[in-house]
Structure 1
């Protein structure tokens, strides 16, 4: 059972590293490339488009919730030892 927990922790660390190695540079590129300005301009030009921004807000809240849950599980696991 300890081996399973160890491998699960290793896989979690691997997936977290891979995700961050992709998302952090993509966010930096988008912030310096004017992508956000283009999206805002398109929104103004078209009007409407509230569903897209609502989806983005829900997605953002979901990511924050996942991060908080992971932090709580990690801190809870450290207290048990």
Structure 2
């Protein structure tokens, strides 16, 4: 299961009854480098809040990175079992 689907699942489970589900939105913030060696910077937003950021040689990979970042940092209720100290 890829990070983007995982993040979407997490966001969908947080939905408020009777409301539109909130899904993560990816935005390309920056594209640098020549066409054959681009680096894309993508941020992911949830409910208007920036929850993760990623970089990669393609938008797809940058989005994956952003999703992974968000999964690590954002406190999704069903992710709690990862955070036992």
TM over 0.5: same fold? no
The structure where strand makes up a greater share of residues is 2
Q: What is the TM-score with the length of structure 1 in the denominator?
A: 0.26
Return the index of the structure with the highest Cα Rg: 1
Bigger relative CO (Cα 8 Å, ≥ 6 apart): 2
- Relative to its length, the structure with more helix (as a share) is 1
